[in-house]
């Protein structure tokens, strides 16, 4: 009870910090849903569209760790993350708003705008995420990460269920002009700018000295590449002679579970349409179930991990989601045992995806705080960047691997593929020895 009251003090500021995560949740689903359509107007080859759509993941691997670590070393009167946020988020909003206009102009204009957007958006992602552990104490970061993940999932729901509908609005507005196939983007851009203003005026970063003491100065002078190599080699940045592979094991684990999840996600809509006879509009319901369940469960799962342990909750969740994937593989057989009619199987499918979302967010909400616990205040940005390096690397590779499995063994096999990577991640997480709220922060 004492701990719950302790985090309650940080709840308002955490929701405000979540405004930054909200901006990402607004832009990402609209980007994924409509940029492919815009590119396909000019490019007949899906493989080439896919390559262009992967620009954001490639830039994420390159930019997030570098800018995150750079923000660790930034010293200004308004903080070390805020200068990046108030510069790059508005630039992201402006370029995002221009996407449909560029799409109407030419392929070259569209590609330039997409490149600029991803340059700004992927650069700011690390400082936005690192803002929460800068302010919220280590023992409350699971709950805090649950809050910001909830904000991101709410934004995704707003983007897909409400803003997306604005694409059908056909009228003429001042400044915006003809709104058909356009309005969702400037509307989202405006919300991103409003969220940035909220962050700037209401969130005050923990003060870091503008000029570090000589003792801390040596710690800050560790070059980025050297620091990253140290972590990946299984040593502490503060003491390279002392082995500590926990951070490396967490990073490998998240690479494995994202290989599973990101391999399944792109294909479940097509799977639903082909195997359960749902409409094209209902094809996204499975992913929607995951998003809704994640939004509802993120905060409770943070509290659960605070009580029973982050590693334990992640490993339990990995077993559950692996089991659910195997249940999806045998869905037709299970439906037969339950006596479900053919038209009812889709509801069982959606229900299993909803339960999947509850435990998937448990994994996501608690893995970040484990890394932050190992990082200490001085290297939060670096560890945030490493998280995205491994997760985005998996996001690039996973659809290709899953696609190969589907080509050889059919759609259902993707669930076995997914379960295998979740179980491998479970094994790897067993080797982690640090990252709990009670561990000493270096």
- Distance from C-alpha of 40 to C-alpha of 48, rounded to nearest angstrom: 9
- Distance from C-alpha of 433 to C-alpha of 59, rounded to nearest angstrom: 32
User: What is the tens place of the pLDDT at every residue in 206-263?
Assistant: 665 555 444 444 444 455 566 666 666 655 555 555 566 888 899 999 999 999 998 8
User: What is the tens place of the pLDDT at every residue in 263-299?
Assistant: 888 777 778 878 887 775 566 678 778 888 988 898 8
In the numeric block, the tokens 């209401």 are attached to 202
The whole-number pLDDT of residue 234 equals 57
Here the tokens at position 396 are: 């690039």
The whole-number pLDDT of residue 323 equals 97
- For the beta carbon of residue 294, count every other beta carbon within 10 angstroms: 28
- For the beta carbon of residue 437, count every other beta carbon within 10 angstroms: 21
User: What is the tens place of the pLDDT at every residue in 134-174?
Assistant: 888 877 877 887 888 788 878 877 877 778 778 788 888 88
Nearest to 432 by CA among 313, 303, 258, 298: 313
Asked if residues 346 and 272 have their Cβ atoms less than 8 Å apart, the reply is: yes
Exposure of 323 in the CB half-sphere (CA atoms within 13 A): 8
In the numeric block, the tokens 């970061």 are attached to 141
* Domains in the chain with CATH codes: 1-204 (1.20.1250.20), 222-442 (1.20.1250.20)
- Angle formed at CA 402 by CA 399 and CA 403, multiple of 5 degrees: 80
Position with higher pLDDT, 341 vs 314: 314
pTM: 0.74
């Amino acid at each position: 009870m004492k701990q719950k009251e302790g985090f309650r003090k940080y709840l308002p500021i955490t929701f405000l910090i979540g405004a930054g995560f909200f901006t990402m949740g607004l832009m990402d689903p609209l980007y994924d849903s409509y940029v492919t359509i815009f590119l396909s107007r000019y490019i007949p080859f899906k493989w080439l569209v896919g390559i262009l759509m992967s620009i954001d993941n490639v830039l994420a691997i390159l930019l997030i760790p570098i800018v995150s670590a750079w923000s660790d070393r930034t010293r200004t009167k308004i903080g070390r993350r805020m200068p990046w946020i108030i510069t790059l988020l508005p630039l992201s909003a402006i370029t995002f708003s221009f996407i449909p206009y560029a799409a109407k102009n030419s392929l070259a204009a569209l590609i330039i705008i997409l490149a600029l957007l991803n340059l700004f958006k992927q650069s700011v992602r690390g400082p936005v995420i690192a803002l929460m552990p800068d302010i919220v104490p280590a023992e409350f970061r699971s709950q805090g990460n649950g809050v910001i993940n909830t904000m991101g999932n709410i934004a995704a729901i707003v983007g897909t269920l409400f803003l997306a509908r604005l694409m059908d609005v056909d009228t003429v507005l001042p400044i915006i002009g003809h709104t058909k196939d356009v309005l969702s983007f400037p509307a989202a851009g405006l919300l991103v700018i409003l969220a940035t203003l909220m962050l700037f005026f209401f969130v005050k970063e923990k003060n870091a000295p503008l000029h570090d003491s000589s003792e801390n100065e040596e710690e800050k002078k560790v070059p980025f590449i050297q620091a990253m190599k140290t972590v990946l080699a299984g040593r502490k940045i503060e003491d390279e002679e002392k082995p500590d592979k926990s951070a490396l094991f967490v990073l490998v684990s998240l690479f494995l579970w994202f290989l599973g999840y990101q391999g399944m996600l792109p294909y479940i809509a097509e799977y639903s349409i082909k195997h359960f006879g749902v409409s094209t509009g209902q094809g996204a319901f499975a992913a929607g179930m995951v998003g809704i369940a994640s939004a509802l469960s993120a905060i409770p799962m943070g509290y659960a991990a605070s009580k029973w342990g982050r590693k334990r909750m992640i490993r339990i969740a990995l077993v559950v989601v692996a089991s659910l994937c195997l249940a999806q593989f045998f869905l037709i057989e299970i439906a037969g045992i339950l006596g479900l009619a053919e038209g009812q199987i889709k509801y069982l499918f959606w229900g299993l995806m909803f339960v999947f979302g509850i435990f998937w967010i448990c994994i996501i909400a608690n893995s970040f705080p484990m890394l932050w616990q190992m990082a200490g205040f001085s290297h939060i940005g670096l560890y945030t960047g490493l998280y995205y390096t491994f997760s985005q690397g998996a996001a690039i590779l996973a659809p290709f691997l899953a696609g190969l499995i589907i080509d050889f063994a059919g759609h259902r096999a993707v669930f076995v593929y997914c379960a295998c990577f979740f179980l491998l991640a479970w094994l790897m997480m067993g080797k982690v020895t640090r990252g709990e709220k009670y561990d000493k922060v270096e």
